[in-house]
Structures are given as structure tokens and as C-alpha cells.
Amino acid sequence: MSNDAVSAVINVDIEGPQISKHVYGHFAEHLGRCIYGGFYVGEDSDIPNVRGIRLDVVEALRALDIPNLRWPGGCFADEYHWMDGIGPKEDRAVMINTHWGGVEEDNSFGTHEFMDLCELLETEPYIAGNVGSGTVREMSEWIEYLTREGDSPMVRLRKANGREAPWKVKFWGLGNEPWGCGGNMNAEQYALEARKFATYCRDYGDNKLYRIAAGAADADYQWTQKLMEQLGHLGCQRVERKLYQAVSLHYYTIGGTWDKKGDAKEFSTDEYYTTMLKALHTDELLTGHSNVMDLYDPTKEIGIVMDEWGTWWDVEPGTNPGFLYQQNTMRDALVASLHFDIFHKHADRLVMANIAQTVNVLQAMILTDPDSGALVLTPTYHVFQMNKGHQDAASLRVDAPAGLPTREVDGKELPTVSVSASRKDGRLLVSLSNLDAEAGQDVEVDLRGGGLGEFEALILTADSLQAHNTPEALEAVAPRAHEGVKLEGSKLRVHLPAHSFVTVSGALA
């Protein structure tokens, strides 16, 4: 079954705002098996590792060109005291991870291990500092420890712990979810705290911090407004700089309710459509928060960092409820592809987005088997891979003069076709998703203002929306070459099977 063909137009010679590579960012928290067992197995593990870091995970993520990694939380960030995680491992303090399963955290993965991981991944660190239970001094000293050259107490401590040269750290978070797990503050309280903490987040040498104030959840526009009101300027400097350069936003796609989120693998078609409608809500949220910010910052100097997004399902049966371990199906892949189309559309304000979370937690790229250690790449991983050419590319507007097909879901209109496009280094990348669960869709894309030469088409789909990968079926959902794309003059005719994601890339002639 196929729906009637639809048309879209892309003016390939009219470049829109650049899509920040950082919207393909990641998030790794001390939560369940994300850090321990996921990234870090310790030096004595049988799993091949370098200084305790799993090599297979590093290799898989390097193939995605991941631009940044946010750490150590999440909620964990606001009870993390960085000095507990430096120095000889046997001397490191043990703490209780009260948010996530009440497990003991031995701090064997700390600052040096995280920076080592970032170097192995060739990715930029994004550190979330502790505002909830930490002090201004503690945060300030962490930055000195990480980034200062020369001679000072924290520099001496770093060198004593084996690291001579400072690291480069740009992205710095001023707490996490302060309206909840990060201190239960109201917007006024946090806005004042953010000003204070930001003041002492110093730039050392040529290390320039990009300070990210902890923003709203969902449609809490009042929170964003309060933060924008308190933006202020860094005092005592000739160069006027804002206290923070971005505000964050968290939004999770939850098919059901917070109490009953739904099963990750067993769901009805109706539940699937509800999920896609919830994912689409991200577009409305980015528009809404950006509109509030426009009132204070019409030139869009201050960015939005959507540093937590993705699906959140009930945990897999038999696993620790505090570990947030869930499977990942073709449905999750389409949630991701739809998010990227939305992110590309908001390239003028959205500077970063971090999927939650990279390994073994929530909408992960990678699942590792706790017994055999086997590594599974999820359908979501493949969307990141197929879309990586959009990183730092110029966005291209996609128009559908006659409209796109829609279906009514829960009293609202859900467009069932989603398209985005970009160009970089003379190459075009078009991403197309067919959200229809059962019907195929033909799309005729008119490429105006430039021809396309040789191209490659890839497809990610499966027999069912519930399809997922396991150690026994590693490629149940994996990209394949797609024969259903034809180029006729300036027209790209793309066949999208039901519930599929397709990319077409090639050199512009």
C-alpha cells in the first residue's frame, strides 16, 4: 500500500543558518550501566580496554563523529563532588548515588578518566557543574584544575595527579534541573544562583568557557523568561560578555505518562502515533522558548542547548528500575530522525542537543550485555550515522507547496512525512522519514539552483516498528543501500516504505 505522491522543493543554492555539529551531541551520566560497564570496565577487565575504557565503545562512537559528551549528569551532577574523583583510586571517597538505584559510587571514573575518554573519542567535553549541593568555590576550583596553566594551588594538584598540561574545556553547565533534582528552586532563586556561580567560572588563558544556565523543562516559558531577565554582564571587564552564553532545555518523548511510560518493544500502532506526536512537540517547544528569548536577545546571541532529549520507556523487565535500561526499536529511530529535522529547522538558535544517554540508559546508541559484554548498536545509532553529514552544514529550507500528508492523532494533525536538507563542501544531504506505520510514500523532491551528480541512498527500516537489535540479531535494523531513489533532471524521486528513514547524499554538480 502506498499513499499518493507528494512534492517538495529544495533551493540548494540558498543557504540557511549553519546546523551546529553540536546538535549531534551526547550525554553520559553516572546512572545504571552507562559509565560503569558501558564506557568504563576497569583495567583488569577481559574486555579490551585502554586505561579501563572500552575500546569497542570508543570505536563505535568515533564512527559517529560525536562532537561533544555531557558528563557527569543529569541529577547526579548536583550531588557530585569532583575532588572525590581525583588522585589514587584506592584513596577515592565512596558515595551513594541517591538518584539512581542508591548504589555505591567508588569514584573510580572521575575527571582524569572522563577527559581521557574525550581524548580517545576526539570529542569536546561538556561538564555539568554542581550548583545544587556544591559551592561556588568548588566549581571555580574545578575549572582552575582543568584549564589553568602556570602555577596555582589547583594546577599543582593536577600536576601531582599526573597531568601536566591543562585541558581545553569550553562547555560548562551551571547545574542541572534546578527546578527539581538540582535543588528544588524556583526560577527567581535559580536565576540569582546562576549569576553568582557564572561570575566565578573564569576563563584562563585562551580557554574561553561557554556557560550554560540550567533551563526549563517542557513548556515552562516562565523559567526561560526569568533566566533571560537575569542574564546580566560579566563585571570588571572591558569586553562586555554575558554571564552565560546559553540556556538549556529538557524534553523527553514519553508515549504514556510518567507513571506508566509504556513498553519499549511491545506497543500498539496507536501508541506509536501518540509517540510521534509527542516527539513533534519538540518543534513547538523550541519555537516557544526561542520566542521568549527573542524579547531579550533579538539577535540570537544566546543559544538554546537541549541537553537532554529522547525516548523514556518503562525499564526492561527484570532490570533495576533505577538504572533506566530500555530496548530501542525502529520507533526510537523515527523519533530520532524527526528530532533532527526539527533541530535543523531551528539552526538559528539551537546550538547544541544531547541525546539521553549514550550507552545502556534511555535512548542509547549502544547496549552492552552485562554477562557476555557483547555490544549492540541500536536503530538510533544508525540514524546518527546516516545523518552525520549534517554536522556544521548549511541548512537548506524544504518547502512543500501542496502540503505534506497528515493523519489525525489524538485530535491533532501529525505530518507523516518529514524532510530536512543541508549542504557542506559541495555535497548535498537530504534526510526523509515516513512516519506512516503501514503505507509507503513517494516523494518528488525538486532540487532548484543546482544539480546533483553521483549519489548514495541509504535506508533504515524493518518488517515491524517493534524490530530491534540484540546480541543474537545484531543487524535486524541496520542501514542498507536503497534502490528506490531515482534522479530525473532536477527531480529526485524517492520511495519511502512504511516506517522508514532514508538519506540521499551526493556531490552537487
Nearer to ligand AHR, 128 or 342 (CB): 128
Site for ligand AHR in 13-42 (CB under 6 A): 29
Q: Is 364 exposed, middle or buried (0-12, 13-18, 19+ CB in 10 A)?
A: buried
Does residue number 74 form part of the binding site for ligand AHR (CB under 6 A)? Answer: yes
> Is 177 a residue of the active site?
yes
Site size for ligand AHR (CB under 6 A): 10
Strands (E), 388-475: 394-396, 398-399, 406-409, 412-415, 417-424, 427-434, 440-448, 452-460
DSSP count for the chain of H helices, then E strands: 9, 27
Site for ligand AHR in 282-321 (CB under 6 A): 308
For the bound state, the minimum distance from the C-beta of residue 100 to ligand AHR, rounded and expressed in Å, comes to: 8
Which of 308, 438, 475, 488 is catalytic? The answer is: 308
Nearer to ligand AHR, 258 or 489 (CB): 258
For the bound state, the minimum distance from the C-beta of residue 173 to ligand AHR, rounded and expressed in Å, comes to: 10
Does residue number 105 form part of the binding site for ligand AHR (CB under 6 A)? Answer: no
Q: Which stretch binds ligand AHR (CB under 6 A): 103-111, 337-345, 354-362, 406-414?
A: 354-362
Nearer to ligand AHR, 230 or 358 (CB): 358
Which of 29, 79, 144, 177 is catalytic? The answer is: 177
Nearer to ligand AHR, 84 or 218 (CB): 218
422 three-state secondary structure: strand
Of all helices (H) and strands (E), which one includes residue 304? strand 303-311
Nearer to ligand AHR, 155 or 315 (CB): 315
For the bound state, the minimum distance from the C-beta of residue 71 to ligand AHR, rounded and expressed in Å, comes to: 11
Does residue number 378 form part of the binding site for ligand AHR (CB under 6 A)? Answer: no
Please pick, from the candidates 139, 198, 356, 366, the single residue that binds ligand AHR as defined by CB under 6 A.
Answer: 356
> How far is the C-alpha of 193 from the C-alpha of 178, rounded, in Å?
10
> Is 308 a residue of the active site?
yes
> How far is the C-alpha of 366 from the C-alpha of 12, rounded, in Å?
34
The residues that bridge with 452 in the sheet, in sequence order, are 508
Nearer to ligand AHR, 258 or 403 (CB): 258
DSSP 182-248: TT---HHHHHHHHHHHHHT-PPBTTB--EEEEEEEETT-HHHHHHHHHT--B-SS-SS--BS-SEEE
For the bound state, the minimum distance from the C-beta of residue 53 to ligand AHR, rounded and expressed in Å, comes to: 21
Q: CB neighbours of 253 closer than 8 A, spacing ≥ 6?
A: 275, 278, 279, 282, 309, 310, 311, 312, 335
Does residue number 176 form part of the binding site for ligand AHR (CB under 6 A)? Answer: yes
Binding site for ligand AHR (CB under 6 A): 29, 73-75, 176-177, 308, 356-357, 362
Active site residues: 177, 308
